[in-house]
Amino acid sequence: MAVKITNMVKFYTILLLNSRPMHGYEIIMEIGDKLGRKISAGQIYPFLQSLEKNRYIVHGTPKAREKKQYRLTPAGRKFVLDVIEKFGGVLDSLIETKVRVCVHCRARVLGLGHVEKIKGASLVFCCPYCAASYKKSG
């Protein structure tokens, strides 16, 4: 059975596991914090089982009172890269909404950047130095 990434919780789960080994509860808490809502165990553990059945993740045998720590296999890393490539255009579009352009040097700035009000208009700069240079030039 092929693993399908049908929602943000699944997508974020594989991205987290791509960054480091994690246990299920840690995944639940991290995704909940990032998405700003409560994530249930029923959203995570069946998906982890599916990843495990497809040999995309493995976990060590936990000792008493230890949690299972899941990590990607080489096949799992390839799966994550394939998913990222598949959704690359969507991710680019999402990131593009957060990119601004410096008024002075035209550098692309992810996030807010350095904003200054000049002649009643809020202008975006990549840094205070560009803002100062822009003010001097005109």
**Can you tell me the mean pLDDT for 91-95?**
83
pLDDT at 138 over 80: no
Q: Are 73 and 58 in contact (CB under 8 A)?
A: yes
Residue 64 is predicted with a pLDDT of 67
SS3 letters across 82-115: HHHHHCHHHHHHHHHCCEEECCCCCCEEECCCEE
pLDDT at 28 over 70: yes
| Spans of all domains in the chain | 8-95, 99-137
Residue 116 is predicted with a pLDDT of 93
Total-model pTM: 0.68
Q: Closest Cα partner for 79 from 112, 46, 56, 109? A: 56
Residue 1 is predicted with a pLDDT of 66
**pLDDT tens, residue by residue, 29-66:** 999 999 999 999 999 999 999 999 999 999 987 676 77
Q: Are 28 and 42 in contact (CB under 8 A)?
A: no
pLDDT at 92 over 80: yes
pLDDT band of 132, cuts 50, 70, 90: very high
Residue range 8-95 forms a domain whose CATH class is mainly alpha
Output 45 or 68, whichever has higher pLDDT: 45
